[in-house]
Amino acid sequence: MSKKRLTFIAVLLFCMLAITGCAKKCATCGKTIEENEQVKIGNDYYCQDCVEYCTSCKTAYVKGDSALTTFNGKIYCNNCLVKCTSCGTTYLKGDSAIVTINEKPYCKDCVEYCASCNTAYVKGDPTLITINEKSYCKDCVVYCTNCNKACVKDDSSLVTINEKPYCEDCVEYCTGCNTAYVKGDPSLLTYKEHYYCKECFDEVAFPIILEDNENFSMAITSYDDDTGLFAINILNKTDEDISSYDESSPVLDGKKKCVAETDGTHSFAYGDIPANEDVTLFSTFRENGDDGWENILKMSDIHTFEFVMIVCSSGDDFWDDTFKVKLSSDMFGYVK
């Protein structure tokens, strides 16, 4: 065989070997695949008919690979999908409907938000508190110190008294100064069906006129329930000295005797008033005890005192006036 012919055969064999080396067989169907049609997955090669691609990331997978999922009619790999931790519904990763809570994905249907701070929580989270049909996290809720009702922390109806929170149902206000008090606060007094603090009550309720005629006027100008002490001002309108006294011991609550006194000083029941002057007398009421007159009575204990007062002149032109004095707790802001 000629040298020329041997060279030709060698070249031909080389080309055949080159072609055979570039051509691959599909690992699935066994078909020979042209070089430009080959898809390498792992260590194997596949033809285009045996391969499908993730719609999102375009990664190639062997057709039927368990890592692929059909979603909304398209093929996606598991790396591009996410499932709601609560209901298991599949979503594309990055979908705006997915919310991450504690590093876990949840769909919008399984999530609710604090109505105050907008923090996301898994629906039904036991730490959420319902107020007026809205959900709030525990950080946005406080409890009324009085009734323990849950209230939104930034609710304008929430009232702070002595650095403690109270709901609006447990608060009442002084009609005079609008200061807030816990409902039922014993320091609040009632005047004409309105609540007043002690300072504002004294402004609207006093003086309490007991008698006012051509000869004299008598009025209570203040009362201190801590001591049970009344201040009574008597104005003498005449040119002669006058005296006041009670005709008999006062009747307590319509049945029991008591006495008006202030330990030896002038009392409401007994006093002398110079001509054309006024005198303020002070008095407490005491009930009759085993050892004499004791136990100062206070209007906050809901009492009524009734007694007959006589005021008379001390001069030559004698006259006297008799009138009935009645003092009840409601006159001083205390009601049942």
**Which of 19-28, 143-152, 202-211 bottoms out in mean pLDDT, i.e. has the lowest?**
19-28
pLDDT tens sequence across 223-252: 999 989 999 999 999 999 998 888 777 888
Answer yes or no: do 214 and 305 share one domain.
yes
Which CATH number goes with the domain that contains 263?
A: 2.60.40
Together in a domain, 191 and 259: no
Residue 7 has pLDDT above 80, yes or no: no
| Residue 306 Cα distances to 267, 301, 326, angstroms | 16, 16, 5
State the pLDDT at residue 95. Answer: 93
Mean residue pLDDT across the chain: 88
178 and 195 within one domain:
yes
Assigned domain for 107 exists: no
Measure CA of the first residue to CA of the last residue in the chain; give whole Å. 137
Helix (H, G, I), strand (E, B) or coil at 295: strand
Q: Looking at the structure, do residues 214 and 302 belong to the same domain, yes or no?
A: yes
- Is 253 in the same domain as 327? yes
Residue 4: pLDDT above 70? no
Q: Is residue 284 part of a domain?
A: yes
Confidence at 287, pLDDT banded by 50, 70, 90: confident
Instruction: Give the residues across from 320 on adjacent strands.
Output: 312
Mean predicted confidence (pLDDT) in 168-173: 96
Domain annotation covers residue 133: no
Q: Is the pLDDT of residue 17 over 50?
A: no
Do residues 269 and 317 both lie within one domain? yes
| Residue range(s) defining the domain that contains residue 65 | 27-83
When computed from its CA atoms, the radius of gyration of the chain, rounded to whole angstroms, is 49
pLDDT tens digits, 104-133:
999 999 999 999 999 999 999 999 999 999
pLDDT at 290 over 90: no
Q: Is residue 92 situated within a structural domain?
A: no
Is residue 149 domain-resident? no
Phi, psi values for residue 35, rounded to 5°: -60, -40
Are 189 and 235 in the same domain?
no
